[in-house]
Chain A
Amino acid sequence: MRAQSIRRVVTVVTLLALMAGFGYGVNRLIASRKSKIPTQATVFIPTGTRAKIVLPGTLYLAQNGELYRLSDGFFTNLHLSVAQGQWMQPAYVPGTQDIVAVLRASEYSDLYLLDGQGGIVRQLSHNATNQIPNVWLNHWMFWPRFGADGKLYFSYDQPKSGTFAVDFNVWSGSLTGALANRQLTDSNAYTGGDVNPVPLSNGSVMYSRYAIGSGNVFSLIALQSPALRNPVLLTTPAQDCGQPAPSRDGTMVAMVCIGGTGLQSTRLEVAPLVGNTLGTPRVLVNNCLCSAPAWAPDGSGLVYFNPADSSGHFELWWIKGALAAATTSPAVQVTTNLDFDATSPPSWSPLATIPTMSR
């Protein structure tokens, strides 16, 4: 009798436990049906991956506030401190292993000279105000690029007019003298200004110039030479093209256009540059989130950023032979499970990387 009672109790307890387990299982089963939206947790660190294609020279890229070097298919972390902000927009110093990069804090950004192996050589700008509550006394500097004249070109939110307007202008300077030595462009007020400067070998500067017309804001690719004169506009408002990337020989320009896309996607285009005129553009990739094109130093193709899936995480893509019309190969995804900073154009040095010395 007692054994029967015990058996009954055990049976009931077992059943209750099974029911509880079943309830929990149903709960977890529903939870497992959640959409698999990739998050930052699914992003790999570049050094834990390898590029699918070995690209010539050395590419400098930024992900999640850190700078990486891609050479021979392998990534190397430059191991810069990110305590004060996010590292981004590296620019190689021609003929050296050094780079200049932006360290972005919440209210300002500064340019730094780095030795290419993780050492900070010098802070080039001091854009933080010591009057902490007056945040408008801080300044932004972005998109550094070196010209053939050895000068550094970048966008800088100076001069300010004492109004609500905060617009970028293109400036140039030297690493040895005053960094913001010469203002080159006079941007349209209340548009965001002039960004992405790229110095050309003929001394002019190509950049994205923002303007507002008919209630819409759009980007124009402009050529500035000489300083502070009216720029030559290479594209139309309807094209709404920006992020110009001229090839090393200056005959082609890659650009990102959003005209006619409903502001939800972009097109990657290339167009021949003859003098101060841009020829008919050719669409390389349509209906994408293509960003930040950069030509290979040997002209064998170009790279750009674009998400590979709905995660919105930007991967590196490569198009071989984009220089010559009608011989373009399909775009090839170079990286997977990474998330490059799409607002940080890669800088592509022709030099192979010197093996890292232990420091």
Chain B
Amino acid sequence: MPGSRSSTIRIARASARVSPARRRSARCASDTESVYRRPERNLPTVTLPSVEFVIKPQVRRERASVRRKYVRRHRVLLAFLIAVGFVLSGAVGALAYFMPAIVTAIQDTGQSLVRSSPKASTAASPSASASAAATQPPVVAPPGNPFTVLLLGSDNDAKFGGTVLTQSMILARVNPTTRKVVMESIPRDLWVPLSTGGSAKIDAAYLHGGASAAVATVEQDFHIHIDHYAWIGLLGLVNLINEVGGIDVVATNPVMDDFYPADLSGKNPYAYERVAVLPGPQHMNGGEALMYVRSRHGDLRSDFGRSQRQQQVLLALRAKAKLLGIADLPDIATAMANDFSTDMSISQIASLLPIASNVQLQNVQQVILAPPYSSSGTVANQDVLLPDWSLILPETHRFFPAV
């Protein structure tokens, strides 16, 4: 019987090839068959119409199919819900991590900047400009185009009671395409017409009208357009530098000061402390860096020397910022909370970070408006710096487009 043996083998092989789904289907069919056969075995007791014996298996099959579909859908839904649960819990974990950065982003970034109309902001009549101040939508450079940022730094310690001057004003022109940066320090004692009316040292612009007035004053006096501003307080700078692990600075000279304000370290904000930053390369923490950029009494160049050191520390910070990633944002946000504000959105700040890290040191040009751009003088019993606009404006417009 070689023929039958071979056919048995074929059947066995065929049955081995049957898929599990078909096996389940076959099992189901045999069940239906047994149900179908049962009435045949009990013919005398059959009372139901024969048609019922024909339909019932189909109904059961449909019910079983529906149940299978239901179970399958239920399982899919359950799996989906579990997946959503995991995704949500992951999102909550990430949200919790970035919460400080989100809070800071909401509170400190995207600040509105009230701009006076060009007509109102003519340097000739600053008093008129205040009364004619009108808001207009900010005109900012499109992404990828060169833009100008006004960097502001303030003594915002206890003795100022919330009204602060800007000890540091740095205009920065950033060209993302050429990766070149120009930083121009504006002396804090520069005697200028303010956008809010009258004339005063330029550091008072922020005092009278916040960032909007500081931006408007620089725009009207320097005849340039400023796209954005960023303001930082003393503690914000100290905490930021500490957060990045300190900065590496080549101290230009011994920075000596016997009348350095002890407003951050002592109980009396009007007390003094001594400063001696020794010269040469060194690793500075936030407090040491603050002394380095803030002290001016022992420097023949006074505010100009300080401006140079401020730019130096900014570049040292930039070098450290290159090492940071997005996961560092919450710690930095916590460090700078309440001591930082800007009109830039968080996405604009994020887009600036790669630019900052890609700029080579040799592509950073530093400008300080020391004499002959300004000269010492006395106005209203105040020691001030009198600007020579005939020199300042051409120099400024070499890097910052005139408007």
Q: Which of B255, B259, B281, B325 contacts A266 (CB 8 A)?
A: B281
Instruction: State in angstroms the CA–CA spacing of A351 and B183 once bound together.
Output: 52
**Please, which residues of chain A bring their CB within 8 A of the CB of B257?**
164, 166
Q: Are A166 and B250 in contact (CB under 8 A)?
A: no
**Please, which residues of chain A bring their CB within 8 A of the CB of B370?**
215
Digit string of B308-339 for contact with A (CB within 8 Å is 1, else 0)?
10001001100110011111100100000000
Digit string of B223-244 for contact with A (CB within 8 Å is 1, else 0)?
0000000000000000000001
Given contacts A192-B253, A311-B245, contact A37 B89 (CB under 8 A): no
Q: Are A108 and B253 in contact (CB under 8 A)?
A: no
B350 interface residue per 8 A CB criterion? no
**Please, which residues of chain A bring their CB within 8 A of the CB of B271?**
133
Given contacts A31-B327, A35-B325, A291-B280, contact A167 B256 (CB under 8 A): yes
B353 interface residue per 8 A CB criterion? no
Cβ-Cβ contact count across A and B, 8 Å cutoff: 191
Q: Are B250 and A263 in contact (CB under 8 A)?
A: yes
Q: Are A217 and B258 in contact (CB under 8 A)?
A: no
Digit string of A116-153 for contact with B (CB within 8 Å is 1, else 0)?
00000000000000000101101010100000000000
B304 interface residue per 8 A CB criterion? yes
CB distance from A19 to the nearest CB of B (A): 4
CB distance from B219 to the nearest CB of A (A): 26
CB distance from B252 to the nearest CB of A (A): 5
Q: Are A314 and B274 in contact (CB under 8 A)?
A: no
Find the residue from B280, B326, B368 having the highest chain A CB count within 10 A: B280
Q: Are B331 and A339 in contact (CB under 8 A)?
A: no
Instruction: State in angstroms the CA–CA spacing of A157 and B254 once bound together.
Output: 11
Given contacts A217-B305, A291-B280, A291-B281, contact A262 B327 (CB under 8 A): no
Instruction: State in angstroms the CA–CA spacing of A89 and B305 once bound together.
Output: 27
B248 interface residue per 8 A CB criterion? yes
Instruction: State in angstroms the CA–CA spacing of A142 and B362 once bound together.
Output: 34
Which B residue's beta carbon lies closest to that of A88?
B278
Given contacts A38-B245, A165-B298, A312-B246, contact A215 B368 (CB under 8 A): yes
Interface residues of B in 284-314 (CB under 8 A from A): 297-301, 304-305, 308, 312
User: Can you offer 12 A-B residue contacts whose CB atoms are under 8 A?
Assistant: A22-B89, A22-B90, A27-B96, A37-B320, A107-B274, A136-B272, A168-B256, A210-B254, A217-B253, A242-B279, A266-B281, A342-B282
Chain B positions within 8 Å of A, measured between CB atoms, are 82, 85-86, 88-94, 96-98, 244-248, 250, 252-259, 271-274, 276, 278-283, 297-301, 304-305, 308, 312, 315-316, 319-320, 323-328, 331, 361-362, 364, 368, 370-371
With A136-B272, A312-B245 already in contact, 8 other A-B pairs whose C-beta atoms are closer than 8 Å: A37-B244, A107-B274, A142-B278, A189-B300, A195-B279, A217-B252, A263-B252, A289-B250
Chain A positions within 8 Å of B, measured between CB atoms, are 15-16, 18-20, 22-27, 30-35, 37-39, 106-109, 133, 135-136, 138, 140, 142, 157, 164-168, 189-193, 195, 208, 210, 212, 215-217, 219, 242-243, 256, 258, 261-266, 289-292, 305, 307, 310-314, 339, 342-343
